[in-house]
Structure 1
Amino acid sequence: MKIIHGIRRYSYAFGLSLFLLAFGALFAFLISSDRKITLSECEKLGFPILEISTDKLKEIKSKEKYVKATFTLKNSTEYEEISGKCKLRGHGNSTWKTTFTQKKPYLLKLESPASLLGMKGARKWILMANAADRSMLRNYYAEYLTHNVWNNMRWNPESRYVTLFINGKYRGLYGITEKVEVVENRVEFDSEGFLAEIDSHSGRPYSFSTNSRLNFNIRSPKSTLENYKKWAAKIESLEKLLYSDDWNEVDGYKKYFDMDSFVDWYLLAEFSKNYDANFYNSIFMNYDYSTETLYMGPAWDHDIGFGNTSKSTTTPESYGSLLSNNAWIQMFNFFDPLKNSSAAKDYEGFLINQGSWYNRMFGDDEFVALVKKRWVETRGQLKDSFEWLREQGEFLDEAAELNDSVWHIIGSANWPRAPGYRSRKTYKSEVDFLVDWCEKRFEWFDMIFME
């Protein structure tokens, strides 16, 4: 077992990318200061309004240090107004650190557990900025799919849209989201269990790497070093079983892996072609000692999925290609099980089954059969969801355009730069792009899994 140490590579392209991102962020910041949005203007839109006032009007500048505050959540037609004490700090990795936008995500910690907008009570909530997603729908849509289409994971978060004001200043349209953690009403166990995450950023309180060079950390619950070591050893033993010579026997990996959750998580990750989900970042799984089973999920972080990536042609070592459509294949020489088929060259191809554990599992005919069977079972519901997605875009349109009048993300060079981003000047055009991508991806999946 070894602790992870980050490795940084720099190149001219990387430096140029950072310069352009910084310049774009500065420009966006300067022009955003000219647009003042009032509370009464937002009340007319009909979205719940979350007002947060920090102690002594302090700015939120850190992911590590909380700032004391009070909050009021109001303007909902379905739920009563709620207010109280809270704390606030920054949240996220790329979305917090990088300079591509001044619109930042936050972690909201209430003084005591509370139900917000119909979601079950808890203390910690994520305020998702969705600044990397011009449609502001991708995370929300992925959540919808986990609850209505691929719903075999034990628990998945929900979100509600809110208009956020901090210290009287409009911050935009946000998604208030259930945090992935081991607590009541979220990831729960009858006795002992833990939540693990594959996270390329590492640096968590307890991080370790497996023999397949996956960077894991134990995310929840907080515990002793002894327990962390025991839980890490459990992950390593399960991975060893997956890669063993008798991995496909009766007592092989399928005895300890919950296949239903692994299949559904895969279909969501592959359909969305979520680059973070290629066992790179924000990959959650949970182990329950009472059932001696590893469950895949919850699903998380889909803002650079569903076609929201650049098609950079730069070299694998450069920053830009990390998000190109074939970068993972270039960098790690993954194989494509359909590489000799013309189908593999059609709509954007595979991603998730070419990486790590799923690469191994796709060598198991029984697992492949389960994936195909589940696709047949759920394809109708998925196809119906495209109309739901378009309706959500219509519902958000006015609030999203107001958000963009401040942050100027639509049509800008802000990361990530999906194909045709400069030509899409309205929020509706971004929604149309998203739905069109999903429809084409659906047709390609049908061609592959309905054979």
Structure 2
Amino acid sequence: MKKFVYILFALFVLSACSEDTSEYKQQRDALEQNNQALQTQIAKEQEELKKRKAEQERLKQRLEELERVKSGMVSDPVLLTMEFKRSDNTGLSKDVVCDVYSSTGIVNCWLPELDDSKTLIPRFTFDGTLVMIGSQEVTSGSTAVDFSQPIPLTVMTSKGTKEYTVYVYSYTGLPVMRIDTETGNFINSKVTYVNAHMKLTEDVKTRGAGDVLEADLQIKGRGNSTWGVSTWPKKPYRLKFNEKVSLLGEHKDRSWVLLANFADKSAIRNHVAFYMGKISNLEYTSSSHFVELFLNGRYDGTYEVCEKIKISNHRVAVGDDGFLLEVDTRAPEESDSRYFYVYSLDNPVNIKEPETQYGDANFNYIEDYLNKVDVALYGYNFTDPDKGWKAYMDMDSFVDWYLINEIAHNTDAQMFTSCFMSLKRGGKLKMGPLWDFDLAFGNTDYWARGPEGFWVKNSDWFDRLFDDPVFVKRVKERFDYFYERMPDIMREIDATQQYLKYSAAANENRWHAFYNYVAPNVEIWGAYQNEVQSVKEWLKNRMEWLKAQYAKM
């Protein structure tokens, strides 16, 4: 019996040892696999290192060989000239001579055509031994190079190297947006969408250099005077993509707009206002980018593609049950408007979002809230923080929205049209986002034309807000902020003018506006730089006048 027990015990021990051994073998195998993978990685890195060393040695030998051929005369490395010859590049209509700036290491080349491909054969002269573009040695007039993105060029000798960056711009240097309608017909309605396809090609200095985006969409006209004025032939458009897309690095969305800026010959007024919005206390300002628009193959000039104002997490973020509103004198003319009146506002308030019907819960809620705002603002205790306007209206947004529109002397901002507001349930009413500045900054021959005189301050609601010393104090503080940022604003204007200079010329060739009267412009300034300079001078004078006036308050 004892023998039997011993045998069972021995079998148990052997079994346990076998399990321990099996587990050990699994661990050993795993370690061996990890070690093998590590050895493979080390071998791969060593091979890459050997290749790099071999390439360096090859270049060294190449330099020495070329320098021996040159009888030992080794110059300081420098790129002298660079060009693209039509005879080497069949896609070019003419020879292209590049601008070489050795002091900054920049080479700028402007192609006369729009072409998605920038694989070109360069010709160049240089002092040195050899030239590398990207990672390859190149021979003048022989080597094809992809210039769709900024690419490094290096002139090399045994004495040293000189580094350059080559930028090959297509046409004007702006991204190119091609929209082709399904039927081939042009857009003649701001009511009915037309099916279309878009191809957006970024240029060498835009956010995604060389990137190409294609997407299906619907397109229609948009705007009020910008669409309806017969003497403004360049029309704005609304884009609704079939799926959400990111245009030029912005958050994905289906809804975008193309601003024509026809009456603004400088093309920068909306851009400047949006820039001020971006540096303000406003929660959201539409992002915008300039593009060249080709509609059904026809060049239609410089457009500004913008985020459409709408409720979303990345735009007007008021939640799923919040409100987007617009004070809009034209609301009664639009069949899809759902608007109401507030006692102290001359113009109706249109409910842009959510979709609502007269008398439903959402309509009644927002109508009731704005009437409470109005009563509190004009009531006896209107300065009381708990019973007056501050209990219903967000001071920071009202102050900064007021100031940007007052600085711009924006004709529409007298609570007339394009005056947006938003409300998140449980929060306070906020002014903004900013919109529609093409006739601002002294660009009208009626109403708010000069740099002097208050405009928005005298409008509904704001005239009452200026009766509160707390509001006035905040306005003065925030004006000082914008006044101190004037150098930044001017630099932004200068940079934008430089960016648009070739595009402005192409746009002028299409529309012939610079030397003709475009209603309701004040003056005919002629050249593009004169248009931009007039904006700068007007803005400087405006800021100085406002500074003096606020100092008196």
- Whether the 8 Å CA contact 2:318–2:424 is kept in 1: the answer is yes
In structure 1, runs of 5+ residues without a counterpart are 1-36, 311-322, 327-345
Counterpart of 2:363 in structure 1 is 228
- State the one-letter code of the partner of 2:396: D
| Aligned mates of 2:227, 2:342 — CA distance in 1 | 28
| Aligned mates of 1:324, 1:224 — CA distance in 2 | 36
Counterpart of 1:189 in structure 2 is 318
Counterpart of 2:178 in structure 1 is 51
| Aligned mates of 2:447, 2:432 — CA distance in 1 | 25
Counterpart of 1:109 in structure 2 is 240
| Aligned mates of 1:158, 1:188 — CA distance in 2 | 15
Counterpart of 1:253 in structure 2 is 389
Counterpart of 2:548 in structure 1 is 447
Aligned CA-pair RMSD: 1.8
Counterpart of 1:134 in structure 2 is 265
- State the one-letter code of the partner of 1:441: R
| Aligned mates of 2:480, 2:317 — CA distance in 1 | 30
| Aligned mates of 2:266, 2:242 — CA distance in 1 | 33
Counterpart of 2:338 in structure 1 is 206
Instruction: Give the 3 Å change call, closer, same or farther, for CA 296–114 of structure 1 in structure 2.
Output: same
Secondary structure, in 3 states, of the residue corresponding to 2:540?
A: helix
- Among residues 144, 151, 161, which one is paired with 2:290 in the alignment? 161
Counterpart of 1:241 in structure 2 is 376
Q: Deviation at 1:75?
A: 3.0
- Whether the 8 Å CA contact 1:122–1:184 is kept in 2: the answer is no
- Among residues 348, 354, 358, which one is paired with 1:215 in the alignment? 348
Q: Deviation at 1:84?
A: 1.2
Q: Deviation at 1:221?
A: 2.2
- State the one-letter code of the partner of 1:95: T
TM-score for the superposition, normalised by structure 1: 0.80
Cα deviation digits, residues 68-113 of structure 1 (max 9, x gap): 0010111333322111110000000000011122100000111111
Counterpart of 1:92 in structure 2 is 223
How many aligned positions are there? Answer: 378
Larger CA Rg, structure 1 vs 2: 2
Q: Deviation at 1:384?
A: 2.9
Q: Deviation at 1:347?
A: 4.1
| Aligned mates of 2:424, 2:480 — CA distance in 1 | 29
- State the one-letter code of the partner of 2:448: N
| Higher RCO by CA contacts (8 Å cutoff, separation 6 or greater) | 1
Instruction: Give the 3 Å change call, closer, same or farther, for CA 96–57 of structure 1 in structure 2.
Output: same
**Stretch moving more, 193-202 or 391-400:** 391-400
| Aligned mates of 2:214, 2:354 — CA distance in 1 | 28
Secondary structure, in 3 states, of the residue corresponding to 1:164?
A: strand
Q: Deviation at 1:190?
A: 3.8
- State the one-letter code of the partner of 2:421: M
**Stretch moving more, 54-63 or 224-233:** 224-233
Secondary structure, in 3 states, of the residue corresponding to 1:51?
A: strand
| Aligned mates of 1:444, 1:205 — CA distance in 2 | 39
- Whether the 8 Å CA contact 2:420–2:433 is kept in 1: the answer is yes
Counterpart of 1:417 in structure 2 is 521
| Aligned mates of 2:337, 2:247 — CA distance in 1 | 29
- Whether the 8 Å CA contact 2:200–2:214 is kept in 1: the answer is yes
- Whether the 8 Å CA contact 1:43–1:49 is kept in 2: the answer is no
**Stretch moving more, 193-202 or 238-247:** 238-247
Q: Deviation at 1:407?
A: 0.8
Alignment map for 1:281-430 (pairs within 5 Å):
281-291=417-427, 293-310=428-445, 323-325=446-448, 347-418=451-522, 420-421=523-524, 424-430=525-531
- Among residues 190, 203, 206, which one is paired with 1:63 in the alignment? 190
| Aligned mates of 2:213, 2:291 — CA distance in 1 | 14
Runs of 4+ in 1 over 4 A off after TM superposition: none
Q: Deviation at 1:194?
A: 0.2
| Aligned mates of 2:309, 2:269 — CA distance in 1 | 18
Task: State the identity as a percent.
Answer: 33
Q: Deviation at 1:232?
A: 2.1
TM-score for the superposition, normalised by structure 2: 0.66
